[in-house]
Structure 1
């Protein structure tokens, strides 16, 4: 890993809550649409409010049923949304357009000083684009992640969102380097840590107290956890067949629990090998409890790569790349691809010789506070403050 340029420095941890409320009068719209967004939004929303900002929470409705989003509000102690766009499902174009159409109308009515978006889902791109065209300052939390694989829709969303946003909050030095290489101005880019870790550390005790393992008849260390949802894994019949063969072999020595997205469950039908137990989606706290109790996690989820690193649990990523390389270089994750023989060999090795627990710097539970402190210092008060001008806008 190369060092970030000398013009850039990480933001230190806040030592205490600010004595004054410098952002009073500023209105921030915080946008969440899918399950990972809610996890990221909670610490940022709380931290912005601690500075005196007025906040509006917008749920785009990209994940809209109780199992996929409703239970997360309870688990995260997240307040009910102030506005719900009810975008629903559809193709990438249909869903993105639905969010844009609804959010444009809402933004015209609210006229906020700031829009905050998270991650890489369609809602993120849609709301960043609307904010940019409306001249409203936009901040991207979890900026700069890159897998290098443009066949992933999320990669396109990341790249475009970072080009549109004015404030770019990164989780890792690699993300900072990506942003600066792509032409972001140094004063836009801030290494603040990982807001998902903020939520995990805040809610971990509650998660570990959950009865989910006992309810499922599991004992800590006596099972592996599996999650699959990416189209490259579940929509290609040959790829899915090969993965199921590998997973069946792993399940012979380590039974696997598989909480499945409804779309994934429909793809599997009766194809699951013996030893793999399919259950429905679980809430945030139960997901953390199941990860913490597993001897091994196999996944194609970006967020789970991060969570397992914090929990110190071995993780195998069933993809050819990751936008979160810090979980490999400074965590417990290994990118093993989709070749059945490679997956089985890596799983057996991880079970026999698990990697030592370790956690990246700044993944300390204070990322949300760092973000709020930066925005409170730099945002002008007053309804509808325009995005700052930066000369040649992010040419690069």
Structure 2
């Protein structure tokens, strides 16, 4: 089996770390990196420390408006697929890299496998929601991480080749959290001795809206807690553009690799984020999560009481930082850590049958 894997953003690198390893045991993989995340701390470091095979192609697309970014990816990915002639194209999640890869494959009649199929926030204003819906409806193999995602697909009339296989990020957590404990020096490097809140802010709905970003920064400043904030380049840009002031209780650090991020998550008192991946990592690691959104595609974490949605309301954010604590035991929604094995076995079997 010849697989073209299309990646472009940090969460996809993490998922590929476990899936690509399984693919390459018995199959040929061609990795196409779109360059959607192009900062070394957002891209190269992940390939290095997670031992992901180096990309066969790096498109160096960079940032830009959605049409520019997706269109350029589509043109370049199509050229590569015509040259490489893969048996299947593998895409992850909900980024512009995802939809560009899926569209390129669909037009060329190459089967598409979508990992993290069926996720829905039910907010079509989010580009991620648009990408995941469109990708699901043109995919040939849909790997749903949870029962909820499987049900979402059925409600949209998608039932053929839907496989509930668990979450590949859980596979990664089981392996890389142990590695992080050995290799990461971030706690000593930052001289962390007391309790802290870990925060991440990167979604366009928060960064591009001055009132939302202002409210979030205000809440961090007024929380009275030590907050560690690895700052995404987009967030840094808008904080500077809006001339927002950061108080001394908030420690801004550069974007970090996955192992350092895991160590900060493991040692945090609570986690404050607008990232879907970080919400899950918080749940896997048993950390209360405060989500800076009005909705989430990972509704299981909310229903289980380990995640609370506060949007950009400064009062709710501060109250949750000081008071929110889970009241239930965590349930197992995300599988047994063998999702990557299941994906590769299903693809190998399915492609053999289809031929």
TM-score range, shorter chain: over 0.9
Question: Which deviations, in whole Å up to 9, do the C-alpha atoms of 1:56-103 show, x marking residues without a partner?
Answer: 111111112211100001121111111222222211000101111001
Counterpart check, 1:35 vs 2:10: yes
Q: Does structure 1 retain, via aligned residues, the 8 Å contact 2:305–2:326?
A: no
Q: Give 1 or 2 for the bigger CA radius of gyration.
A: 1
Contact 2:293–2:309 (CA under 8 A) maintained in structure 1:
yes
Say if 1:110 and 1:291 are closer, same or farther in 2 by CA, change over 3 A: same
Identify the structure with bigger relative contact order (alpha carbons < 8 Å, sequence gap 6+).
1
Structure 1 residue 266 displacement after superposition: 2.2
Is it true that 1:311 corresponds to 2:285 in the alignment?
yes
| Equivalent position of 1:239 in the other structure | 212
Distance between the aligned counterparts of 1:241 and 1:261, measured in 2? 16
Equivalent of residue 345 in structure 2, options 366, 373, 377: 373
Residues 98-122 of structure 1: per-residue CA shift (max 9 Å, x gap): 1110010100011111000000000
Structure 2, unaligned runs of 5 or more: none
Aligned residues: 351
Say if 1:296 and 1:313, in contact at 8 Å, map to a contact too.
Answer: yes
* CA deviations over 1:148-197 (Å, ceiling 9, x no partner): 1111111000010001110000111111111111111x332111111111
Gaps (5+ residues) in structure 1? 1-25, 387-396
User: What is the rounded CA distance, in whole Å, between the counterparts of 1:303 and 1:355 in structure 2?
Assistant: 22
1:260 to 220, 223, 231: 231
Deviation at 1:132, TM superposition (A): 0.6
The aligned residue for residue 23 of structure 2 is 48
Distance in 1, Cα, partners of 2:332 & 2:150: 15
Q: Equivalent residue for 2:259?
A: 285
Distance, in Å, in 2 between the alignment partners of 1:326 and 1:75 is: 30
1:312-391 to 2 correspondences below 5 Å: 312-330=286-304, 332-350=306-324, 353-355=325-327, 358-380=330-352
SS of equivalent residue, structure 1 residue 143: coil
> 2:51 matched to which residue of 1?
77
Query: What TM-score does the superposition give when structure 1 sets the normalisation length?
Result: 0.85
- Indicate conservation of the 8 Å contact 2:170/2:334, yes or no: no
Which residue in the other structure is 1:223 paired with?
A: 196
Say which SS state the counterpart of residue 66 (structure 1) adopts.
coil
Deviates more, 1:127-136 or 1:60-69: 60-69
Deviations 1:335-361 (A, max 9, x none): 1222111111122112xx455562524
SS at match of 2:43: helix
Q: Which residue of 2 aligns with 1:93?
A: 67
2:72 and 2:305 map into 1 onto residues whose CA distance is 38
Residue in 2 that maps onto 1:16: none
Corresponding residue SS for 1:140 = strand
Equivalent residue number for residue 22 of structure 1: none
**Contact map agreement 2:300 2:333 (CA 8 A) in 1:** no
CA contact (8 A) 2:20 2:52 kept: no
Secondary structure of 2:132's counterpart equals helix
Match of residue 7 from structure 1: none
* CA drift at 1:376: 1.3
Alpha-carbon displacement from aligned partner over 1:117-163 (angstroms, at most 9, x marks no partner): 00000010001001011010000000111001111111000010001
CA deviations over 1:297-346 (Å, ceiling 9, x no partner): 10000000000100001110011000111222246222122211111112
For 1:323 and 1:205, the matched residues in 2 are separated by 27
Q: Distance in 2 between matches of 1:187 and 1:262?
A: 40
Cα separation, 2, equivalents of 1:335 and 1:175: 19
1:296 alignment partner in structure 2: 270
Judge conservation of contact 1:309–1:331 (CA < 8 Å) in 2. no
Are 1:248 and 2:221 matched, yes or no? yes
Is the contact made by 1:62 and 1:86 (CA closer than 8 Å) also made in structure 2? Answer: yes
Alignment partners' CA distance in 2, 1:361 and 1:155: 21
SS of equivalent residue, structure 1 residue 278: strand
Give runs of ≥4 in structure 1 deviating > 4 Å: 354-357
Counterparts in 2 of 1:112-127, with a 5 A limit? 112-127=86-101
Q: Distance in 1 between matches of 2:327 and 2:246?
A: 28
